[in-house]
């Protein structure tokens, strides 16, 4: 019973950190687009882009890759700001 409670508490803490980090990334982006595969495309003020996979991690995506939005529209990947997005997603989870 105690073990289950500790696991539930740990999972809740991870979820809180993930949501807080995603808020920072969304605030830094000019536009956020949900993709059909469950990932999220962040378009930054510079026009460069980064992809967060469906597991909540920054994913490297080649410039020029065609991405499909949930609404069916096609977006061409510009740039690959994977390191920037990774830092935004990790920012709050590091305890800063």
pLDDT tens digits, 4-48: 654 555 554 444 444 444 568 888 899 999 999 999 999 999 999
Whether this model's pTM surpasses 0.85: no
pLDDT tens digits, 37-91: 999 999 999 999 999 999 999 999 999 999 999 999 999 999 999 999 999 998 7
Q: Which domain holds residue 88?
A: 2-94
What 3-state DSSP class applies to 29? strand
The answer to whether 84 touches 24, Cβ cutoff 8 Å, is no
Domain of 51: which CATH number?
2.40.10.300
How many domains in the chain?
1
The long-range contacts involving 33-36, CB below 8 angstroms and separated by at least 24 positions, are 33/69, 33/70, 33/75, 34/69, 34/70, 35/67, 35/68, 35/69, 35/70, 36/68, 36/69, 36/70, 36/72
């Amino acid at each position: 019973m105690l073990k289950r409670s500790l696991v539930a508490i740990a999972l809740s803490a991870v979820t809180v950190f993930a949501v807080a980090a995603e808020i920072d990334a969304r605030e830094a982006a000019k536009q956020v687009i949900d993709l059909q595969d469950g990932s999220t495309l962040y378009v930054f003020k510079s026009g460069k882009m980064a992809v967060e996979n469906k597991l909540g991690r920054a994913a490297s995506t080649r410039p020029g890759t065609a991405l499909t939005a949930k609404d069916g529209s096609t977006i061409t990947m510009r740039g690959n700001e994977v390191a920037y997005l990774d830092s935004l997603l990790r920012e709050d989870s590091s305890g800063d």
